[in-house]
Homo-oligomer: A and B are copies of this chain.
Amino acid sequence: MDSGISIALLGCGVVGSGVMKILKDNQNLIEGKLGFPLHVKRIMVRNLSKARPNYIPADILTDDLSTIEDDDDIKIVCELMGGVSPARDYILRLIRAGKHIVTANKEVLAKHGPELLREAAGNGVSLRFEGSVAGGIPIIKPLAECLAANRITQLMGIINGTTNYILTKMSSEGREFAEVLSEAQEMGYAERDPSADVDGQDAAYKLAILTSIAFGIEARPEDIYTEGIRGITSLDLSYARELGFAVKLLAIAKEYEGKVQARVHPALIPLNHPLASVAGVYNAVFVQGNAVGQLMFYGRGAGSLPTASAVMADLMEAADSIARARPVSALAPMVKRWNGTSCLSRIDEVVTRYYIHLLVIDRPGVLAAIARSFGNAEVSLESVIQKGRGKEPVGLVFVTHRVRERNVQQALEEIRQLPVVVKVANVIRVEGEEA
């Protein structure tokens, strides 16, 4: 008597084939823990005739969702297609057909998570999504369950491997963005259309999910301030390093003045901060709770087997719950944390420190004029360094004390008008130090 549980996959690309490989390689271990086998009964794919590895049996492939939707034997479906359309419709149809859902689809969750979770709850099925953020790194369940007794005060993540790879290379080799990007594209670390990664959208989707779990609010991706890394130059990276900072694309969610900030942008972070040494394609999420203090979760944020590891954990938990008739925990990330209202701060309300890189004409009184503009906007300066004396224009690098973004913008507006200022070369927020 086998009494296993039948499942189906939607999509058999990078993550789907990883799930199939783990099911094959670790079959005994998985069955041993669950006490019963998992049977993959159907895999829905777009192209039935594409060549696939031998652990993906051709006879279970289908291009017809109804063969899964209408099969009452299939209890759990893993949606591993990505994107909103048709994933959202498929998930809704499968939920209404009584299937438990496991997904690694950050975009559909960030944009339609509340709808999908309500629908799942209404149909008495679960919707799990550990694989949607930071690949193999356990973060959704630790945030929701292991830190359940904490008020989360801040969360900062390096959750896009492509941009971290590019910034790491630019920094260690002194090269420029465009050149490193095309190399990354050749090596398969960046997509042919890299914009979702380098412009921060991918990180913003993941941050929307993390913010919802950590703060119990509905964080819509369109309310998340999002700025990518195209404007970062190797000169800024080397100035930052001299000042004692690394530059990372950070996804930040923080509680401040009773509101939650959620923002994705490049940031200077002190070299001794645990996030500063997260290099290459690795991801890490730094979390601070009012009881636990500072934590960091580090690992591979993408890739076939790491992401499939997270999907498999959700799948095994779903199967275990079905077999033991376990109701979903009140603490589980999938039920009620996502029903609040959005109350994200606007970016101009953010209070942090700023790195400001100006190009100016090198003549007496320049610094006084610029300092006056900062003063007029109540921006107080922590340090200023002059760079490239003797050349024209010269660089002036300022680091401010903590100040509201609105004041910085006001100061920069005035500074741009000064006849001695050639250009505001870069403005990068500085994070990772306590208020």
Contacts and interface: CB of A to CB of B under 8 A. Distances in A.
A82 interface: no
Contacts of A293: 136, 299-300, 303, 305-306
Interface in A278-334: 289-300, 303, 305-306, 308-310, 312-313, 315-317, 320-321, 323-327, 329-331
Q: What is the count of identical protomers in the complex? A: 2
Contacts of A151: 26, 29
Nearest to A335: B33
B313 A34 contact: no
Contacts of A303: 293
Interface stretch (A73-81, A137-145, A399-407): A137-145
Given A26-B151, A292-B309, 8 more contacts: A22-B149, A29-B149, A138-B138, A141-B145, A146-B313, A149-B309, A150-B309, A291-B306
Interface of A: 18, 22, 25-26, 29-30, 33-35, 130, 136-138, 141-142, 145-151, 274, 277, 289-300, 303, 305-306, 308-310, 312-313, 315-317, 320-321, 323-327, 329-331
Contacts of A331: 33-34, 316-317, 320
Contacts of A30: 148-149
B138 A146 contact: yes
Given A146-B141, A149-B30, A329 B330 contact: no
A214 B313 CA distance: 15
A95 B289 CA distance: 32
A146 B294 CA distance: 21
Contacts of A325: 327
A230 B136 CA distance: 38
A316 B149 CA distance: 8
A308 B30 CA distance: 32
Contact of A149 (B149, B299, B313, B329): B313
Given A149-B30, A325-B327, A294 B290 contact: no
Contact of A292 (B305, B316, B321): B305
